[in-house]
Structure 1
Amino acid sequence: MVEQPGCEWCAVWNKEIGEIYPLSAEGRFAPLKRVDLRAIPEDLDLNRKVIFTPTFLIVEDGREVGRIEGYPGEHFFWPVLEKLLIEKTDYRPPGPGSI
């Protein structure tokens, strides 16, 4: 998660998703690492420059494979994240009744 001080939508994400993200199947598969917009590691191979916060990068082996720019709400975030993980990684959502 690329964020910056004073980011209103980062704060909303933190309030709505932040605590439950690591408990989700997606969060266990793709653990969250927070990075300041002005301190993105130079060795991270990005598809393009990050301009907006929050931006959620899906990274494998130091290379960006997908991203979500912005946070318009939890009803948008979860399905888009799941779709990106399925399309861009080997993530498979747990079946019904799975924990």
Structure 2
Amino acid sequence: MRICAAVLVSLGLTLGLTGPLRAAELIMVEQHGCHWCEQWNAEIAPAYPNTEEGARAPLRRVLISDLPEDVAFTSRPVFTPTFVLVHEGQELGRMEGYAGAEFFWFLLGQLLNAHPDATALR
């Protein structure tokens, strides 16, 4: 068994697979007191992790005042909520604001489908 593990580790190092592959994620940029963030929390947040969209781009929440350094945003988010699709630390696209559940799911589907290689279910 140890030989098998050693071979797999060696193969991973040879192929450059030293770390986990980073799947796409949907970053929600929010702020305290944001009415539209609260509405999204009530209408979408409970279901999101259980949806196909949630599987294709798991949610990561960040405060607009504390943006992550591991993401290269094309521009600094200004509005909350802003939803940024990120793959391997690079922004692929974004949705600004929240205008209701139906509109959110429609726009998110378009965003995910525009980047099938990054958001394909594995």
Normalising by structure 1, what TM-score? 0.88
Aligned: 1:26 with 2:53: yes
* Aligned residue type for 2:34: C
2: distance between equivalents of 1:8 and 1:63? 28
Aligned: 1:8 with 2:31: no
Aligned: 1:17 with 2:30: no
**Structure 1 residue ranges (4+ consecutive) displaced by more than 2 angstroms after TM superposition:** 88-93
1:21 positional shift = 0.4
Residue 80 of structure 2: aligned partner: 53
2: distance between equivalents of 1:74 and 1:4? 19
Identity %: 48
1:92 positional shift = 5.6
- Please tell me whether Structure 1 or Structure 2 has the larger radius of gyration of its CA atoms: 2
Secondary structure of 1:47's partner? coil
Secondary structure of 1:50's partner? coil
2: distance between equivalents of 1:43 and 1:92? 22
2: distance between equivalents of 1:80 and 1:44? 22
Match of 2:110 among 79, 83, 89: 83
**Contact 1:66–1:88 at 8 Å: present in 2 too?**
no
Aligned: 1:36 with 2:63: yes
**Contact 1:3–1:53 at 8 Å: present in 2 too?**
yes
2: distance between equivalents of 1:65 and 1:17? 22
Secondary structure of 1:38's partner? coil
Where do 5+ consecutive residues of structure 2 fail to align? 1-27
**Contact 1:22–1:31 at 8 Å: present in 2 too?**
yes
1:63 positional shift = 0.6
Match of 1:63 among 90, 112, 116: 90
Normalising by structure 2, what TM-score? 0.72
User: Number of residue pairs matched?
Assistant: 93
Root-mean-square deviation (CA), in Å? 1.4
